[in-house]
């Protein structure tokens, strides 16, 4: 998280059309550790484990209007030692999301396994 307000959104963040959200913004790091047993990691002939995922973060205001979005599509390519760590500790990912400095917001974080098309999400709320 950045302690200094910013007038610009963090890289990859998108304000949806019709949103009334305005800066300044505060950036937060969203760290994910998804359950590796709920996603598809396939062992390839090269001995590495592969997966294909979309990580999404949505920010909503107190009235349920979408304020900001960020999503990343990532290919996982894990050698055996990293695969063992992922299976023990979770599938790691980090996103940076911008939130207006004042107000009450809801954050919804999701993971879509693009190989199996399975989706999972979690939501939280906070007041600035």
Tell me the average pLDDT of the chain: 89
- Give yes or no for a contact between 105 and 60, defined as CB atoms under 8 angstroms apart: yes
pLDDT-based confidence at residue 126 (cuts at 50, 70, 90) = low
Give a yes or no: residue 19 inside a domain: no
pTM of the entire structure?
Answer: 0.83
What is the domain extent for residue 110? 25-127
Under 8 Å between Cβ of 31 and 89: no
8 Å CB contact between 113 and 53: yes
pLDDT of 3: 61
In a domain, 83, yes or no: yes
Spatial distance between the Cα atoms of 101 and 121, rounded to a whole number of angstroms: 24
In a domain, 114, yes or no: yes
Could you tell me if residue 20 is inside a domain?
no
Query: Does 9 map to a domain?
Result: no
Q: How many domains does the chain have?
A: 1
Query: Would you say residue 53 lies in a domain?
Result: yes
- Does residue 51 form part of some domain? yes
CA dihedral (28, 117, 75, 35) positive or negative: positive
């Amino acid at each position: 998280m950045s302690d200094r307000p910013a007038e610009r959104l963090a890289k990859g963040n998108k304000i949806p059309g019709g949103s009334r959200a305005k800066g300044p913004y505060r950036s937060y790091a969203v760290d994910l550790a998804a359950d590796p047993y709920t996603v598809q990691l396939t062992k390839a002939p090269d001995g590495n484990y592969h997966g294909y995922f979309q990580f999404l973060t949505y920010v909503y205001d107190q009235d349920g209007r979408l304020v900001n979005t960020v999503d990343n599509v990532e290919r996982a390519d894990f050698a055996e030692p990293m695969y063992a760590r992922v299976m023990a500790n979770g599938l790691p990912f980090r996103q940076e999301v911008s939130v207006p400095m004042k107000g009450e917001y809801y954050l919804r974080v999701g993971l879509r396994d693009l190989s199996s098309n399975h989706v999972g999400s979690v939501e939280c709320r906070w007041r600035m």
